[in-house]
Amino acid sequence: MRITRIDFEGREGIFAIAKRQRDAKQIEVEILQPTMQASHWVDAGDEDELFAMAVFLQELLDGYQGTMQEAACYYNPLLCMSDIGI
């Protein structure tokens, strides 16, 4: 089994979609907000990059700087798509 897409819903109107195509070396994280849309790419084998993206997603979607445990709620799903695994 492969996980190829994860949808995150944050505060009202703010979403993120993590996607990874077969054999891609990066995970694309698309940010959707009412006034903007952007994509970021994270190296699927880089634990530090994945955790930095998790922290970014937690702050963006939850609307505040959270704890390491709160960031882990975003990190663990990203690990499922990574080359690192859980």
Tens-place pLDDT, residues 8-18:
999 999 999 99
Q: How many folded domains does the chain comprise?
A: 1
SS3 27: strand
Residue 2 confidence (pLDDT): 84
Is pTM, for the whole model, over 0.85? yes
Residue 86 predicted with pLDDT over 80: no
Categorise residue 81: left if φ over 0, alpha if ψ from -120 to 50, beta otherwise.
Answer: alpha
Residue 18 confidence (pLDDT): 98
The torsion of the CA quartet 56, 61, 66, 70, rounded to 10 degrees, works out to -90
Asked, for residue 61, whether it belongs to a domain, the answer is yes
Domain ranges, residue 10 = 5-81
